Amino acid sequence: MHVFVFANPLGVLLFTDLVFEEGLTQVDAELDVIFVPTDDLIVEAMLKMAAVTAEDVVYDLGCGDGRIVVAAAMERGARAVGVDMDPRRIAEANALAQEVSVEDRVQFIQDDLLTVDFSDASVVTLYLLPSLNVKLKARILTELKPGTRIIAHAFNMGRWQPDAKRAMGGVYLYKWVVPAPVQGTWEWLGADAKVYRVSLEQTFQMLSGTAWIDNVQAELIEAKLLGDRVRLVIQADVRDEPQVFMSSYQEGVLLPAIDSQQVSAGIRLEV
């Protein structure tokens, strides 16, 4: 694979100025995934979908020649880590990082994608087969902090439905936000001085359940979860105004958001 670098008219090097020779690369039989380079337009779309900033730590699992990692560092200022089992890809990735002078913000690791530690990631990018995505799913849900963004090129996560998807070049890009573990029974004080309680059931980011107000059953009109953010809408009676409770899951409690009708921390009574 050859990499050519050109300066744009403004004299500023951009990732889209890097031109790659595309095509399959023969890999050793023990590797799980054939290396297929990701088009640079898809690279940019993936980073945009993840809303990567300089505050992020980006992990690309199955990084290949490192183009996603390098783009995250060069165009978004992020710290980025690439993981691949093929030493040839790692060598190419390090060469690319040095070519564009981002080696101080990137790291490339030759390791097994299924066992490598990526728990400090705030963004994870994937271009893997569905079977590997599904194998990684349990670790993503249990080891990454709520709110971590997962972006996959072309392949989904089985039963875990994406929070967003985008058609791109004949395939889809998928986005998931790691959900907080909020299943269980929660109780808090409302702005109307009443005690609210919900019993939530959770399947990935999907919530359902039952609500009570001062121990009287009420209607849980809405229950939504995005990362660590929870939105619950509870109504005592059809004649009453629904109460909107917005909170964030932090270290096992639901902390009320600004302008929420929730005035005390939500405490989990049981799981």
Element (H, E) at 98: helix 87-99
Residue 33 has pLDDT above 90, yes or no: no
Q: Answer yes or no: are the C-beta atoms of 125 and 28 closer than 8 Å.
A: no
pLDDT for the residue numbered 211: 98
Residue 6 has pLDDT above 60, yes or no: no
- Mean pLDDT for 213-236 is 98
Instruction: Please provide residue 143's backbone torsions phi and psi, each rounded to the nearest 5 degrees.
Output: -105, -20
pTM confidence score: 0.86
Percent of the chain with pLDDT over 90: 83
Task: With cut-offs at 50, 70 and 90, classify the pLDDT of residue 35.
Answer: low
Cβ neighbours of 36 (radius 10 Å): 14
Task: With cut-offs at 50, 70 and 90, classify the pLDDT of residue 238.
Answer: confident
Task: With cut-offs at 50, 70 and 90, classify the pLDDT of residue 169.
Answer: confident
- Mean pLDDT for 48-64 is 97
- Extract the runs of DSSP E, i.e. beta strands, from 132-250: 149-153, 164-168, 171-177, 184-189, 195-203, 206-213, 216-226, 229-235, 243-250
Domain spans of the chain, in order of start: 3-177, 184-270
How far is it, in rounded angstroms, from Cα 250 to Cα 180? 9
How far is it, in rounded angstroms, from Cα 49 to Cα 42? 10
Give me the chain's average pLDDT, please: 89
- Mean pLDDT for 187-213 is 98
How far is it, in rounded angstroms, from Cα 66 to Cα 79? 13
Cβ neighbours of 167 (radius 10 Å): 8
Q: For 14-27, how does the pLDDT look when each residue is reduced to its tens digit (9 = 90+)?
A: 444 444 333 333 33
**Helix axis angle, 87-99 to 67-76, nearest 10°:** 20
How far is it, in rounded angstroms, from Cα 1 to Cα 20? 7
Which amino acid is located at 251 in the chain?
A: E
Element (H, E) at 267: strand 266-270
Site of tokens 């359940």:
209
- Mean pLDDT for 104-128 is 97
Of residues 34 and 52, more confidently modeled: 52
Both tokens of 190, joined, read 């409302």
How far is it, in rounded angstroms, from Cα 104 to Cα 109? 14
Of 3.40.50.1980, 3.40.50.150, 3.40.50.1000, 1.10.10.10, the CATH number of 3-177 is 3.40.50.150
Of residues 31 and 160, more confidently modeled: 160
